[in-house]
Amino acid sequence: MLKTLPSALLGAALTIAPLSAPRAHDIYTGVRGKNGQLCCGGNDCAATLYREQGGNFEFLTRESRWVKIPPERITFLPVPGDSPSDDSHRAHLCYRQANDDDRLGPYSTNVFDAIYLYCAFIPPGSI
């Protein structure tokens, strides 16, 4: 019995883990950014932190790097379905890693540092 208990617990954890990730990401389904574009094409979006200094905004990426995003690319609205938070620097960032074609192509204005930006959100009250 004791030998099968760890296996059963691991199996249960593996069954539950995949179900929780998509639910957390569901709040981004259909969310559109400042220019009306869809923000997410999979797991591109996540809650994050931002910092502001002198009107300049930086967002923390999933890779734990700070990336400067100009204010004109930030939507200062809540993401529908996002749980309220006491964190005054909570934000949402939707992006993928930029590639060489992104940097040289017609959408190069979406490249900031190493990311190709879809959307950035700062909810009211977080500023």
pLDDT attached to residue 8: 43
pTM of the predicted structure, to 2 decimals = 0.75
Supply the pLDDT for residue 46. 92
Q: How far is CA 77 from CA 9, 49, 65, 82, 119, in A?
A: 41, 15, 23, 11, 12
The reported pLDDT for the residue numbered 3 is 53
Residues of the chain with pLDDT under 50: 1-2, 4-23
- Nearest CA to 40 out of 106, 120, 122 is that of 120
